[in-house]
Amino acid sequence: MNQMTPLIGTTAISKLMLTIRTSLRMCGTLFRVVPVSMLIFTICEIIIALLPVVQIVMTAALIEAVASLIHEGHSALASAQRILLLQVSLWIGQLALDTYVRYLASKIKINMMVYFGNRTAAKSAKLSLLQLENHAYYDLQQRVASGLEHRSLLFFQSIVQIGQAIITLIGFIIILAKFHILLALGMLLFIIPSLYMDIKDSGFRFRLDVEQTPAKRKADYYFNLLASREWAKEVRIFGLSDYFAKQWVANYRSNAGAQLKLERKMSSFKFGMGSLVLVILGGISAFLLQLTMAGAITLAQFVAIVQTLISVQGNLRSMSASVAGVYELALYANDLFRYLELEEEAETRGELSPPAPEKSDIVAERITFQYPHMEKPVLSDISFRLAPGQKIAIVGENGAGKSTLAKCLLGLYPLTSGTITYGGIPIQELQPEAFRGRIAAIFQDFVQYQLTLRENIGLSNLAYMHDESRLQAAAAKAGVDEFAGALPQGFDTELGYKFFGGHELSFGQWQKIAISRAFFKNSEVMVLDEPTAALDPLAEAALFEGIAKLTQGKTTFFISHRLGICRTVDLILVLHHGHLIEQGTHDELIALNGEYAKMFSKQAEWYQ
């Protein structure tokens, strides 16, 4: 079964096993993360479970004392007052316990949110890019992100409530059995219909949630298109507001229709089960009246039994809801655990340190890459060799495979076949953190961090973020110093529009910051994957040439479908439909009069 496919029990045994397995795992996690708080929480809940039984006994004793007070007068007053005082003390004690348990629950929830938040964030960072491009990942991720971290305590609370209900029910059964065994047996009949009804309801709701996750994400996407600044200009220019609003309504109504259908079905089912419970209750009440009429029980006992039956009904309803809740939460928690167990990017196998920069030649030998479930490879049988410090241009039309090749060279995509070596060492054998410490990249869709300018540059090398000279040097190389001085707080100015006090920049300024971020890392290998696509050809060529001068001695890849930089690089790789069809210097490829020569001829007027 696919690791991202939801697991839903289809038989009673499979449902029970899933619930037990997940319950034990979640409870074990809770007691491991917050052991002291969980121990105190459990003890408090057990005490709370016993209080209703004690209250029933106290109520019966109080009624007996009141009856004695009526017949015996003032001499029985002290006894009745003592019982009343004890009962009030129990009420206050229960209130105090309930208040403390709510506080303790909040404390545990915060700790568990931090724990699971850290684990899910760490897991997300370790997943391969290929998994992040799978729609099933986003379905699973949405269910995990929708509050599963704080459901952990709710999970345990439901289990504790079941334990509480069982303890309380045992007490009630003992009380009823003292009067008549049939009362105790009749009470047990309440359990079956309530339990069956709530478990069935929980399974339906989870299955519906799983089925609706893709449509929910689609509805959220349409809503974000209407509400987010990134798309506001185009939505208005093309008059798309009504279209996207209608699409959102259609997706939302589709989900809502399925939910209402479930509600109708479950309402009829619950009505039938609820009626059965009331019939059973009516039968027990009739039997109780017969016992009273026969003189088998006193008035105080009658009141105590009636109170017990009312409490039992509520207690059983709560217990069946908790059992069903545990099953439903087990399904969601199972998603969380499956997310935390997703196969991580194959990083741990690399143990070797990268070679010295002067020995880090890069060799690609017959490399092929194919996305999972795609019929044809994106890259096919590509081979080339690069000396340390060379400048390389990877060119080709849109869709030629340039960006995919860049991700393979950076170790972001695992090869389907072939090898890429750095200094003779296959990339998969290099220690990942050490390898990535040697490389930097700027992509076309570079990130505009809504943080300070200092952070936007310094995030590429956190250890030196507060090194002012290094920060200024990186800013100067990319031209960020041209506007940094004019910002209200200089390098400590908040950038972007998403947070209060943020200072918005032009796209070109954000672009320079991204390039500055790459310079700040001071890496041996730099990959520029069309970060200047928004610039005109001449501006792009000038910027690339400036970067080439500033990266002397560093291996630098320039990836573009425009050829302005190609006249100054050491090697050009020409891709066409995933194949490396030509490689050489500008002059060599022009003399070859092949695909590159044709492309350059078409673009020549851009650079005149």
84: in domain = yes
pLDDT bin (cut points 50, 70, 90) of residue 506 is confident
Q: CA angle, 88 as apex, 82 and 92 as ends, to 5°?
A: 140
Asked if pLDDT for residue 256 goes beyond 80, the answer is no
User: Helices (DSSP H) in 34-147: which residue ranges?
Assistant: 35-72, 77-126, 129-132, 135-145
Q: What is the pLDDT of residues 107-127, one digit of tens each?
A: 888 888 778 877 877 777 677
Two tokens, residue 5: 């496919």
Provide the pLDDT for residue 170.
Answer: 76
Distance between CA 354 and CA 422 in Å, rounded? 7
Q: What is the pLDDT of residues 176-229, one digit of tens each?
A: 777 777 766 766 666 666 666 666 666 666 666 666 666 777 777 777 777 666
Question: Are both 360 and 248 inside the same structural domain?
Answer: no
Two tokens, residue 321: 């809801």
How many Å separate Cα 294 from the centre of its chain? 64
Q: Which one has a higher pLDDT value, 319 or 382?
A: 382
Provide the pLDDT for residue 471.
Answer: 92
Look at residues 485, 503, 522 and tell me which one is the last residue of a structural domain. Answer: 522
DSSP 419-481: EEEETTEEGGGB-HHHHHTTEEEEETT----SSBHHHHHHTTSGGGTT-HHHHHHHHHHHTTH
Distance between CA 348 and CA 121 in Å, rounded? 18
308 within 8 A of 60, measured Cβ to Cβ: no
Question: Are both 208 and 356 inside the same structural domain?
Answer: no
Question: Are both 272 and 410 inside the same structural domain?
Answer: no
Provide the pLDDT for residue 189.
Answer: 67
Question: Are both 170 and 286 inside the same structural domain?
Answer: yes
Question: Are both 214 and 269 inside the same structural domain?
Answer: yes
Average pLDDT of the segment spanning 394-405 = 88
- Give SS3 for 382: strand
In this structure, what CATH number is given to the domain that contains residue 281?
1.20.1560.10
Contacts of 205 (CB under 8 A, 6+ apart): 262, 328
Average pLDDT, the chain: 78
Asked if pLDDT for residue 337 goes beyond 70, the answer is yes
Provide the pLDDT for residue 366.
Answer: 94
Two tokens, residue 118: 């850290």
User: Helices (DSSP H) in 344-419: which residue ranges?
Assistant: 402-409
Question: Are both 550 and 432 inside the same structural domain?
Answer: yes
Question: Are both 226 and 297 inside the same structural domain?
Answer: yes
Contacts of 375 (CB under 8 A, 6+ apart): none
596: in domain = no
Question: Are both 579 and 449 inside the same structural domain?
Answer: no
Q: CA angle, 326 as apex, 317 and 123 as ends, to 5°?
A: 155
DSSP 487-511: STTGGG-BBSSSSTT-B---HHHHH
Q: What is the residue range of 62's domain?
A: 12-340
Question: Are both 404 and 419 inside the same structural domain?
Answer: yes
Q: What is the pLDDT of residues 135-163, one digit of tens each?
A: 666 667 666 766 554 566 677 777 777 77
Distance between CA 15 and CA 10 in Å, rounded? 7
408: in domain = yes
195: in domain = yes
447 within 8 A of 498, measured Cβ to Cβ: no
Two tokens, residue 3: 């690791």
Contacts of 213 (CB under 8 A, 6+ apart): 139, 142, 143
In this structure, what CATH number is given to the domain that contains residue 402?
3.40.50.300
Average pLDDT of the segment spanning 316-329 = 68
Under DSSP, the state recorded for 355 is P
Characterize 438-458 residue by residue with b for buried, 16 or more Cβ atoms within 10 angstroms of its Cβ, and e for exposed. bbbbbbeebebbeebbbbbbb
473 within 8 A of 488, measured Cβ to Cβ: no
Asked if pLDDT for residue 367 goes beyond 90, the answer is yes
477 within 8 A of 431, measured Cβ to Cβ: no
Asked if pLDDT for residue 430 goes beyond 60, the answer is yes
Question: Are both 68 and 157 inside the same structural domain?
Answer: yes
269: in domain = yes
Q: Are strands 417-422 and 579-584 parallel, antiparallel or unpaired?
A: unpaired
606: in domain = no
Q: CA angle, 164 as apex, 161 and 170 as ends, to 5°?
A: 140
Average pLDDT of the segment spanning 238-259 = 75
Provide the pLDDT for residue 5.
Answer: 47
Look at residues 289, 310, 340 and tell me which one is the last residue of a structural domain. Answer: 340
Look at residues 311, 340, 369 and tell me which one is the last residue of a structural domain. Answer: 340
- Pick the closest to residue 546 from 474, 478, 449, 469 (CA basis): 478
Question: Are both 515 and 538 inside the same structural domain?
Answer: no
Total number of domains in the chain: 3
Characterize 545-568 residue by residue with b for buried, 16 or more Cβ atoms within 10 angstroms of its Cβ, and e for exposed. bebbeebeebbbbbbbbbbbbbbe
347: in domain = no
359: in domain = yes
Contacts of 114 (CB under 8 A, 6+ apart): none
Question: Are both 113 and 188 inside the same structural domain?
Answer: yes
Distance between CA 574 and CA 586 in Å, rounded? 11
Contacts of 420 (CB under 8 A, 6+ apart): 362, 363, 364, 365, 367, 408, 409, 426, 427
Q: Amino acid letter at 338?
A: R
Longest distance between any two alpha carbons in the chain, whole Å: 123
